[in-house]
Amino acid sequence: MILIDLGLGPGGMLLDNLAADGVTPADVDLVVLTHLHRDHVGWAGAFPRARYLVDRREWEHWCAHPGGVGPDPDRVLPAIARRLGHLDQLPPGIQAVPTPGHTPGHTCLLVTDPDVEERVLVLGDLLHTRAQFAEPHWRFRSDVDPEQARRHRTDVLDRFRDGRTVLAGGHFTGTAFGELPQQRQHPQTSHPD
């Protein structure tokens, strides 16, 4: 079984939700990470057989700059390092879509099945709120390169506005899945405070 991103970790519901679906931590053999912010890697180490795949730039950045909003340097980094791989080792059906800017190696993941026309694009933190669909220039406070993040956000919104790509956004309230409208809305000129 493959998981993409791991939430905050202990105190969160990931393991309980997997158990409700009959999945044990030993059933997970691959974890693919969009980036290494704390709220995406918290359960690292909870899956005894899993390999962890992450962008090389992302890994190198957080090893050189541990702490802050990044992975816990004492608990998470060692757990990933023991079974680390990189995104050039993705299995068939998962494609890396590089989107640096939020972090140095932030990556969206395109999940496809040759027997199904629809596909899913896991956004990671490319967008933090639904408002960014109409206002892609709005930045998030922890973007390491806000202009690069905006360019990638705009590009992804244009590229995957195809009527067959379902977007998965972990930070959206309510449902995490949705499609982009075929026509691009024109951004408003107001900015958030």
- End-of-domain residue from the set 57, 90, 123: 90
pLDDT tens-place string over residues 161-175: 888 999 998 887 666
Residue type, 65: H
Residue 72 has pLDDT above 80, yes or no: yes
Report residue 18's pLDDT band, with 50, 70 and 90 as the boundaries. very high
Q: Are residues 73 and 147 in the same domain?
A: no
State the average pLDDT over residues 84-107: 97
Q: Are residues 192 and 131 in the same domain?
A: yes
Nearest-5° Cα angle at 110, 41 to 23: 50
> What is the per-residue pLDDT for 179?
73
Q: How many domains does the chain have?
A: 2
Q: Are residues 114 and 166 in the same domain?
A: yes
Contact 5, 170 (CB under 8 A): yes
pTM: 0.90
Q: Are residues 125 and 193 in the same domain?
A: yes
- End-of-domain residue from the set 90, 118, 140: 90
Domain holding 56: CATH number?
3.60.15.10
Q: Are residues 98 and 191 in the same domain?
A: yes
> What is the per-residue pLDDT for 170?
82
Q: Are residues 163 and 86 in the same domain?
A: no
Residue closest to 175 by CA, chosen among 167, 183, 163: 167
* Residues 72, 70: Cα–Cα separation, whole Å: 7
Nearest-10 Cα torsion for 66, 67, 70, 74: 80
pLDDT tens-place string over residues 96-118: 999 999 999 999 999 999 899 89
> What is the per-residue pLDDT for 181?
61
> What is the per-residue pLDDT for 134?
84
> What is the per-residue pLDDT for 11?
86
Residue 193 has pLDDT above 70, yes or no: no
Domain that includes residue 76, residue range? 1-90
- End-of-domain residue from the set 42, 66, 90: 90
* Residues 26, 7: Cα–Cα separation, whole Å: 18
